[in-house]
Amino acid sequence: MSKQSSERIERVRARLEQALQPVTLEITDDSHKHVGHPGARTGMSHFSVRIRAESFRETAPLVRHRIVYEALGDMMQTDIHALRIDAAPPANSPQ
């Protein structure tokens, strides 16, 4: 993993942790799967996020995605070309 990729992952992690206090947070840089894709050519990255947070309780999946996008803010315009999101409340709480 490149230094730039590691730094981006840490920035994503910091923003999501601050905004959502997740119980579980896994972030993967999938950019290597998209070499030659327009986002890769501009230096932006492709990420996958698996997040479990109490704040997702009783929220629809589309709302959860919006919450994640909001937490990432300007990174969605400057650093992230594509984001696959798996967002849900922790397993021990009703979805």
User: Structural domain boundaries of the chain?
Assistant: 3-88
Question: Is the distance from CB of 93 to CB of 58 less than 8 angstroms?
Answer: no
In degrees and rounded to multiples of 5, residue 75 shows phi and psi of: -60, -25
pLDDT digit string, tens, across residues 35-89: 555 555 555 688 999 999 999 999 999 999 999 999 999 999 988 888 999 999 9
Tell me the two tokens of residue 94.
């009703």
| Arithmetic mean of pLDDT, 21-41 | 76
The architecture CATH gives domain 3-88:
2-Layer Sandwich (3.30)
Residue 44 burial (CB count, 10 A) = 21
In degrees and rounded to multiples of 5, residue 26 shows phi and psi of: -125, 130
pTM of structure: 0.84
